[in-house]
Structure 1
Amino acid sequence: MSTLRQKWITTPLLKWIKKVLPPISDTEREAMEAGEVWWDAQLLSGKPDWEQLLNMGPPELSEAEQAFLNGPVEELCRMLDDWQISYEDHDISPEIWDFLKKNRFFGIIIPEQFGGLGFSPSAHAQIVTKISTRSTTVGVTVMVPNSLGPGELLMAHGTEAQKNYYLPRLADGQEIPCFGLTSPEAGSDAASMVDHGVVCYEEYQGEKTLGMRVNWHKRYITLGPVATILGLAFKLYDPEHILGDQEELGITVALVPTDTPGVTIGQRHIPALQAFMNGPNWGKDVFLPMDWIIGGQENIGRGWHMLMSALAAGRGISLPSLSTGGAKLAARTTGAYAHVREQFGIPIGKFEGVQRRLAEIAGIAYVLDSAHKTTTRALDQGRKPAVISAIMKAHATNGLRQAINDAMDIHAGKAVIDGPSNYLGNVYRAVPVAITVEGANILTRSLMIFGQGAIRCHPYLLQEMEAATNPDHDAGVQELDALLPKHFLFQVKTFARAVFHGWTGGLFASSPKGVGDATKYYRQMNRYSAVLTLVTEISLMSLGGELKRKEMISARLGDVLSELYLMSCTLKRFKDDGSPRTDRPLLEFAMRSGFHNIEVSLIEVFHNFPLRFVGQLMQFLTMPWGHSIRAASDRQAQACANLIMEPSETRDRLTAGVFPGVTGDGIDIVEKAFLSSHETAAIREKMKKGGLRALRPDTIDKAVADKLITEEEGAQIKVTFDAVDKAIQVDHFESLSKSA
């Protein structure tokens, strides 16, 4: 029976798979093999195992990590003046550089045995988050050496000699690292990199030495202008066959001291009016000994794999930390400002148009913080979820963009006038940088999240592709033959689940135990996990390799996977927090918004599917009733808005990690006005009942004269008036030259 199946079914199917499945380049294969799958695979299984996620628990910091947050991080934040850094000095002061080095901020992830702090990814993330709420420039400066740089590559791939020499010097700041990947000609397409080296012998330190003569041009290199050690990616060639028969050896990564002859460090860029160091560098016929390759000669050609492995972890920490901090800052300050700023005698936060924006900000902060915590918790446990890291980078930075845009709209003139008291302007300007670096969001969304995720997370697809490309035809047939029954059973189960849950609205989908009122959300999550899995199967079977080129379809399916991940994390966070009833508006708003986004994306896939009948069939099978879940209601939006306009444990929990400012700065001023306004709310109500709606010194005096309030209450409300007046003021300067 097996022989007949192989002859009449498997062999023809193998030929068909070779024709329709998307071809995979060497760089794509290495990217897919880097890192690992995790919860993303569960979401694309059609039946997620929720216990796997929920039993992880929340992130936990060690005593040393918490002490560092409470000590050096807090002290650093008090030292920082973002206006001075960004507009007056355009640089971090020598005192701050020295503080960062002395307290080993550049060695957060380096093990203690090498002089580093040896902190967990969760601690790393919380440190960057807090610093970023004070200064994006310093946040980036701390972030880069601890994520996508030589330190992480050395720890994972370096020789013992390299680790023993460089890691202690990186940990205490003797060496400032940068990493050179992007070249002008290639951009995000590393396969098109023109930076190259040639294997050769040259005299080095008085001896004939085997090495490489390398030429390169790199740009957009963060910390490049101040770096002492450059991690360099280039393509290596061996035209004289010194090392063997192969001429093209592949992308290789080496460590190059920036004072090496032939290295030129260019002048600095100014990225989006940010003050962190960034700039180009060049190398002209630079000789690098073989032992400068990270990991030594045996790692020739493994550079792309090494980089993708580092990216699988680092991309899930660095920019998501900055983005989460920015969204939390927006939630805390905008809620406060919307309460104290009045128009027509009432707080602007009471206008329904403003309330919707406030709710969006609160919801984004809640979701990003939830996903940030869950992802770093997974990294704490040694996972390197490549697809999830891409989801986090793209959607965290995009979430920051939306939150800051909404916050700017609500603050209006307060946020568009620059000065020391503007706590949003510099975050707003940092958003394009975050969107662009570590993989531009457009490409990440269109090509990576679903394109990589659908293959990596599928239980059989990658193995089938490998069978199809096996040079031994008979072995490929046997491999595929063993997979087909399993894949067919998987398809049958997926079809049954997706259609049943689609037609019944997920009412009968399963849910984990002990989740209380959140049960309905878990059922919908299971429903749309099954739907996405079936749509993925049908899309791959009907379009094959063409799906790779249908980037708009791929992007929308990636959006569904991303929303499912973000919502999974939100549900986990709600449970980890003890399912507080006061936080329920945030959960409801986030989940309804997420399901609405999922349905919009799926319907757009169906309506734009290249094979129109197949698109109509998928909608008939999985979403026969069209939109079945409405976006968050006005009532839910108002409840969310109120949460960040009132002092409460929920507000503090949502915005935990935001540096509260120092006395007299913008954040401190608006927070004090916010608290004072709430403390005198009852006095204000007495004035309003007497027909005095405006809060001014003359109306306060009249309220006292009319016996609406006592003299003591009048004195109290005047303190509030002064605080509010100070909070809504903006900076002004004698002349531009004195402000810059």
Structure 2
Amino acid sequence: MIRSTEAHATRLKAARTLVEDILIPAEAQMDAEDRMPDAARAALRAHGLFGISIPEAFGGLGLTMEEEAGLMLVLGRAAPAYRAVYALNSGGAAQILLRAGSEAQKAQWLPGLASGARIACFCLSEPEAGSDAAALQTTARREGDGWRLDGRKRWVTNAPEAGMLMVMARTGGEGARGISAFAIDPATPGIHIQPAQSKMGMRGALTADIVFDDARIPADALVGAEGDGLKLALAGLDKVRLHLAALSAGLMERLIDEGRAHALRRRQFGKPLADQPAIGALLADSAAEALAARCMALELARARDDGTLRPADAAAAKLFATEALGRVADRVLQVHGGEGYMTGSAAERLYRDVRLLRILDGTSEIQRLVVARGLFSA
């Protein structure tokens, strides 16, 4: 649902300027230093992107799903490490607070998340609990008027600069119903953020483990009812899957433009690569998949807004778009040839970055299970 065509167009125009004038030019520096440049971070904050789907009452943009998808088609043209920093503030942590948080919890956390003054971390994965989230072992046990938290969370995006942790911990027995959600200040004694981990791609979006060593947290850190944590976390998956589908479509369009520009510039056998049918075929296949992903993201975003979205369809969009993105990145690197394989080229850098999108927020294998379940339960 687009609430105001004029406001939406203005927002997209501003996003295009941000991407082309600030974000893309800073990509190489961010990748080399494994740190988002200050000017890029400030620009993201100035555009309100840390609060994409946080309601305006808390300082966010309060976008509908269709508006968010349209915006991500534009912002997706920039390196996805940017998105890993700003969009997570509107992601799992904020959505759980909006869905089940008390008014006091919303007032405490959401304004800082919306402005980017606080950086949110979603703490779910563990050494022995990735796709099988219900197997997590981090525990929260009652003690007096609070809780004691023990365990280790793995691959926590933004952990080294965390301003708020949304932690899934076991408060009851085995399985999903024994897991609860907690909104926690990372400065709490007993919380130890480990050194940032080196990654294949997504450099600039820092990732680290977090250790909870008998950390005492207050009773009011519990978000929602005890035992509802995993249910709350999973309830937001449709939204993030469509968000990532739109992001992937935008990245495909960027990669195709990189391939097209190289094919027009580079000459072999006395003519531009663009005149070689094999090169045109690589980019034509890529353009078809990018268009399909764009259409899926926008159509299903409208379905989510009007309440008709099926979970299997959101999973299918994430599956198709992220898998297609991997194919497009591979084709575009092939178009670039040896130049694309060299460190420093956009084709090489984005090839490394996009690989993660088939893993995070539900692997492709998990998406296939969700799609198949939808087929057989229809």
When normalised by structure 2's length, the TM-score is 0.92
| SS state at 1:179 partner | strand
Pick closer, same or farther for the CA change 1:426–1:248 going to 2, 3 Å: closer
**Kept after mapping to 2: 8 A contact 1:309/1:384:** no
Residue aligning to 2:362? 439
| SS state at 2:196 partner | coil
Which one-letter code corresponds to 1:100 in the other structure?
L
Which one-letter code corresponds to 1:287 in the other structure?
R
Which one-letter code corresponds to 2:52 in the other structure?
I
1:282, CA displacement in angstroms?
A: 1.0
* Matches of 2:230 and 2:360, distance apart in 1: 17
Q: Does 1:184 align with 2:127?
A: yes
Counterpart pick for 1:312 among 206, 225, 238: 238
**Kept after mapping to 1: 8 A contact 2:286/2:331:** yes
* Matches of 1:72 and 1:401, distance apart in 2: 24
Counterpart pick for 2:254 among 312, 329, 339: 329
Pick closer, same or farther for the CA change 1:74–1:382 going to 2, 3 Å: farther
Residue aligning to 1:218? 153
Pick closer, same or farther for the CA change 1:174–1:347 going to 2, 3 Å: closer
Counterpart pick for 1:303 among 229, 234, 248: 229
Unmatched 5+ stretches in structure 1:
1-57, 202-208, 239-245, 459-740
* Matches of 2:235 and 2:366, distance apart in 1: 19
* Matches of 2:66 and 2:11, distance apart in 1: 13
1:382, CA displacement in angstroms?
A: 4.3
> Percent of aligned pairs with the same residue?
26
Which one-letter code corresponds to 2:152 in the other structure?
H
Pick closer, same or farther for the CA change 1:288–1:90 going to 2, 3 Å: same
1:322, CA displacement in angstroms?
A: 2.5
| SS state at 2:189 partner | coil
Residue aligning to 1:112? 56
Counterpart pick for 1:159 among 102, 118, 133: 102
Q: Does 1:255 align with 2:183?
A: yes
**Kept after mapping to 1: 8 A contact 2:51/2:60:** yes
| SS state at 1:272 partner | coil
Q: Encode CA deviations 1:153-208: one digit per residue, 9 max, x unaligned.
A: 1111111111122211211122210100000111111121111121221xxxxxxx
**Kept after mapping to 2: 8 A contact 1:313/1:384:** no
Q: Encode CA deviations 1:300-348: one digit per residue, 9 max, x unaligned.
A: 111121111111222221x212211121112223233323433222332
* Matches of 2:2 and 2:341, distance apart in 1: 37
1:396, CA displacement in angstroms?
A: 0.9
Q: Does 1:348 align with 2:273?
A: yes
User: How much is the aligned-residue C-alpha RMSD, in angstroms?
Assistant: 2.3
**Kept after mapping to 1: 8 A contact 2:69/2:242:** no
| SS state at 1:91 partner | coil
Q: Does 1:449 align with 2:378?
A: no
| SS state at 1:271 partner | coil
| SS state at 1:287 partner | strand
The count of aligned residue pairs is 375
Residue aligning to 1:36? none
* Matches of 2:233 and 2:110, distance apart in 1: 18
* Matches of 1:65 and 1:227, distance apart in 2: 31
Which one-letter code corresponds to 1:266 in the other structure?
Q
**Kept after mapping to 2: 8 A contact 1:146/1:152:** yes
The 10-residue stretch of structure 1 (178-187 or 267-276) with the greater mean CA deviation from structure 2? 267-276
Residue aligning to 1:135? 79
| SS state at 2:131 partner | coil
Residue aligning to 1:465? none
Which one-letter code corresponds to 1:359 in the other structure?
A
* Matches of 1:339 and 1:72, distance apart in 2: 27
* Matches of 2:131 and 2:336, distance apart in 1: 36
Unmatched 5+ stretches in structure 2:
none
1:92, CA displacement in angstroms?
A: 0.9
* Matches of 1:248 and 1:359, distance apart in 2: 45
* Matches of 2:53 and 2:307, distance apart in 1: 13
Pick closer, same or farther for the CA change 1:263–1:359 going to 2, 3 Å: same
Residue aligning to 1:430? 353
1:417, CA displacement in angstroms?
A: 2.0
Which one-letter code corresponds to 1:453 in the other structure?
G
* Matches of 2:46 and 2:332, distance apart in 1: 36
Pick closer, same or farther for the CA change 1:98–1:347 going to 2, 3 Å: closer
The 10-residue stretch of structure 1 (325-334 or 187-196) with the greater mean CA deviation from structure 2? 325-334
Residue aligning to 1:199? 142
**Kept after mapping to 2: 8 A contact 1:136/1:426:** no
Pick closer, same or farther for the CA change 1:264–1:77 going to 2, 3 Å: farther
* Matches of 2:38 and 2:214, distance apart in 1: 34
Residue aligning to 1:83? 28
Residue aligning to 1:63? 6
| SS state at 1:437 partner | coil
**Kept after mapping to 1: 8 A contact 2:89/2:116:** no
Q: Which structure: larger Rg?
A: 1
Which one-letter code corresponds to 2:114 in the other structure?
A
1:427, CA displacement in angstroms?
A: 1.3
Residue aligning to 1:376? 301
Q: Does 1:404 align with 2:347?
A: no
1:76, CA displacement in angstroms?
A: 5.5
**Kept after mapping to 1: 8 A contact 2:319/2:367:** yes
Q: Encode CA deviations 1:91-120: one digit per residue, 9 max, x unaligned.
A: 112233233334321111111111111112
Counterpart pick for 2:171 among 236, 250, 264: 236
Residue aligning to 1:417? 342
* Matches of 2:363 and 2:233, distance apart in 1: 16
When normalised by structure 1's length, the TM-score is 0.48
Which one-letter code corresponds to 1:214 in the other structure?
L
Q: Does 1:283 align with 2:216?
A: no
Residue aligning to 2:196? 268
